[in-house]
Structure 1
Amino acid sequence: MTVSAADYPGASVNPSPNQGDRANGRKPDMIILHYTGMPSADQALSWLCNEESQVSSHYFVHEDGRIVQLVPEGRRAWHAGKSSWAGESDINSCSIGIEIANPGHPGGLPDFPDAQIKSVADLCLNCGKRWKIPPERVLGHSDVAPIRKVDPGENFPWERLYLDGVGHWINPTQISGGRFFQYGESGQPVEALQSMLSLYGYAIETTGSFCDRTKGVVEAFQRHFRPQLVDGIADFSTIDTLHRLLAALPKYRRC
């Protein structure tokens, strides 16, 4: 099935064959943001529309703000891969994927142009309103696939999107000294950290051991919510920012 008309007003259409049915009639209740991680937008768009790639997204946003729809919103685009959030492991069946043209880490993490971010915000707001997607379920690829993925990266302006009404955000706690937890440690404080990360939505077991997985999830959290320093060490700034984000979630998510 191809896109006959764009779901988002103003988007052009460039159909991708890489799509399928959403499992069990699922409707999207998440939005996942990616960067393309390729040298040019045209190269990335061509790859997403190439059957050989076996990857796609619902939307593609150029640096100048132009939006292209590749897969109908009612269909399952192949953008998240092996991923999980809040107990859901088939992220592709319950999400809308948006690829944002940017070379990412391979290209030195260049800034995202203002026109591009405005279009991303407008697109997220429109999709969120039509599908009743809560702001806190607008996430990065690295959130749902820690360690495996790092996009849209620590240079992505999540605060800017939040000020436009997209996503969940608080100003991160200032980095300072004090007690911290890191790889190799174990005990009740590590267990509490893992529990908080899991409660927020990250796929992590509460083992009490600061393992490779825990370090990777802490890095993913920092990349999104405390981007000033992404080192996988759970310092006071990281833990306090996480605690305040949990406290700021809607009441139904804190039950």
Structure 2
Amino acid sequence: MSYAPRYPDATFVESPNFDARPDPQDISLLVIHAISLPPESFGGPYVRQLFQGKLDAGAHPYFADIASLQVSAHFFVRRDGAVEQFVDCGMRAWHAGKSSFAGRERCNDFSIGIELEGSDNQPFADAQYSALVALTAWLLQEYPGLSPQRIVGHEHIAPGRKTDPGPYFDWARFRQELSDNRF
């Protein structure tokens, strides 16, 4: 079976921060994250720049500690619902860090990462839920190893180290909308 590496409703913006998966057929976890740069600020170019390895350390005091990080995600969903893709789904994006799911370490090896523009302190936008549901439904169709039971937050695979997508992400809403829109 051949899989679509790129989501047709996303703008592709290539990141250098990826490598080959140990097993390209093993895509069996979806990890939802939240990010804003600078923290609590939305709409700027900084997340894109971070994932492209082009973040200017001098553009904001917070960036001095993160500008040299080599991180990425497969997808980034902005507040207005626009989706950007940074890494082909068949490749390993560097989004989960030290992590484990169901006793299996190194979640980057077998997961797809979706970053939502947001934080632990603010609700997510309606447009983001709509875009996330559409993207997730597409991923579930394209990758049979994924299932609604294998969709988690970064906080679930790196407890104590990560808190995103945080308390304002409405898991019940997301799961209900996904269920309503899958068929």
Q: TM-score, length-normalised on structure 2?
A: 0.81
Asked if 2 retains the 8 angstrom alpha-carbon contact of 1:84 and 1:145, the reply is yes
Structure in which a larger fraction of residues adopt strand: 2
Q: Please tell me the residue identity of whatever aligns with 1:62.
A: R
Secondary structure of the equivalent of 2:104?
coil
- Equivalent residue in structure 2 for 1:46, among 21, 29, 49: 49
Q: Encode CA deviations 1:115-162: one digit per residue, 9 max, x unaligned.
A: 111101110111011102110101000000000000000110111111
Larger proportion of helix: 1
Consecutive unaligned residues of structure 1, counting only runs of 5 or more, are 167-255
Q: Is the 8 A contact 1:61 1:98 kept in 2?
A: yes
Answer yes or no: is the 8 Å Cα contact 2:5–2:90 preserved in 1: no
The list of structure 1 runs, each at least 4 consecutive aligned residues, that deviate by more than 4 angstroms after superposition, is none
> How many residues end up aligned between the 2 structures?
158
Give a deviation string over 1:182-224, Cα, whole Å, max 9, x none: xxxxxxxxxxxxxxxxxxxxxxxxxxxxxxxxxxxxxxxxxxx
Aligned position for 2:170 = 157
Q: Are 1:59 and 2:62 an aligned pair?
A: no
- Looking at both structures, which has the greater relative contact order when contacts are Cα pairs under 8 Å and sequence separation is at least 6? 2
Q: Distance in 1 between matches of 2:84 and 2:24?
A: 25
AA of the residue aligned to 1:140: G
- Give how far 1:84 is off: 0.3
Unaligned residue ranges in structure 2 (runs of 5+):
55-67
**Structure 2 residue 161 is the aligned partner of structure 1 residue 148:** yes
Q: 1:72 to 1:62 in 2, by over 3 A?
A: same
Larger radius of gyration, structure 1 or 2?
Answer: 1
Amino acid at match of 1:65: G
Amino-acid identity (%):
35
Structure 2 residue 102 is the aligned partner of structure 1 residue 99:
no
Post-superposition Cα deviations, 1:84-118, rounded to whole Å, max 9, x if no partner, equal: 0101102001000001111x13xxx1111101111
1:71 is the counterpart of 2:87: yes
When the two chains are superposed, the root-mean-square deviation of aligned CA atoms in Å is: 1.6
TM-score calculated relative to the size of structure 1 = 0.59
